[in-house]
Amino acid sequence: MRILVTGGAGFLGSHLVDRLLAEGHEVIAMDNLLTGSTDNIAHLAGNRRFQFIYHNVTNYIYIKDDLDAILHFASPASPVDYLELPIQTLKVGSLGTHNALGLALAKGARFLLASTSEVYGDPLVHPQTEDYWGHVNPIGPRGVYDEAKRFAEAMTMAYHRTHGVDTRIVRIFNTYGPRMRLNDGRVVPNFIKQALRGEPLTVYGDGSQTRSFCFVSDLIDGIYRLLMSNEVEPVNIGNPAEISILEFAQRINELTGNQAGIRFEPLPKDDPKQRQPDITKARRILGWEPKVPLEQGLAETIDWFRTRLDRP
């Protein structure tokens, strides 16, 4: 297939590009490098089945030749990003999704939306199933990302119902691995960066809030399976192995040999207390579940960060 990946120079987008190329497809990565980096795709220079286009998807998207699929991954995706770039986050979720869907309609292409567990907000249902509508503060500081993705899901389903676009929606839970940005602002790079520098790890609140961490290769496998499936409605992809943030910090200190311990800071506004995917649907429809153990994935991620920590 000939496939367009928006946000293709980002953390997840670049791993997805690698998987699609490995499967034999021709891939175009589109990115305005707001939060992505050409470092993530530099290894693809000279690959005849790969093309990079520098473009902001909130503007009209033009692709000359045919497309078989569009995977819309363009968006700031960490609290640091969408608190610093709130309007850009809303625009890529609304205008960017509209433009990408319009292109899918024009090309007769399959469309896959990268949505997020953030559509569930600070959930009152645990673990979260795809039929849960969420508990989101639309005017809080995190609301720009949550509502951008909820709107994107609504528009995706509207294009499916109104125009017959062949759509997929993946709800991505916490994912980690190589190519995360050092200053990403999310818990994994924050903890690893502090640990490798011999600093105490910053835990917000008392650390009792939980997350479920999925290694990037597992996530990409689930997304690829969803792309190739016939499932139109949202599917959770994530690791259901829940862990408290405090325990997670202790694990990283152990793996890095960091003796500086942990320091506690106030909990940010609207920070979810629990986040755990119910992946029953992914198991049933896609035959998918995560395989990489947390210690193995963290070891690979720590090694990758260690090689980049001293770069300017």
> Where residue 183 falls among pLDDT bands split at 50, 70, 90?
confident
> Which amino acid belongs to residue 220?
I
Q: What values do phi and psi take at 303, rounded to 5?
A: -60, -40
- What pLDDT sits at residue 177? 97
Which residues are CB-neighbours of 203 under 8 A, at least 6 positions away?
Answer: 245, 246, 249, 262, 263, 264, 265
**Does the domain formed by 2-175+214-237 have CATH 2.60.120.10?**
no
| Average pLDDT for 244-268 | 93
User: 105-109, 242-246, 286-290 — which is least confidently predicted?
Assistant: 242-246
Q: Which tens digit of pLDDT belongs to each residue from 45-56?
A: 999 999 999 999
Domain segments of the chain as ranges: 2-175+214-237, 177-211+241-275+292-308
User: 19-33, 181-195, 269-283 — which is least confidently predicted?
Assistant: 269-283
Q: Output the CATH code of domain 177-211+241-275+292-308.
A: 3.90.25.10
Higher pLDDT, 309 or 241: 241
| Average pLDDT for 144-150 | 95
| Average pLDDT for 150-154 | 98
In the chain, DSSP assigns E strands to 2-6, 26-31, 50-54, 69-72, 110-116, 167-172, 175-176, 201-204, 210-212, 214-215, 235-237, 242-244, 262-265
Show which residues are catalytic.
145
Instruction: Evaluate if residue 308 carries a pLDDT over 90.
Output: no
Take residue 153 and report the two structure tokens written for it: 């899901």
Considering the chain, what is the average pLDDT of its residues? 94
pTM: 0.94
Residue the block writes with tokens 């559509």: 119
Q: Which tens digit of pLDDT belongs to each residue from 70-109?
A: 999 999 988 888 889 999 999 999 999 999 999 999 999 9
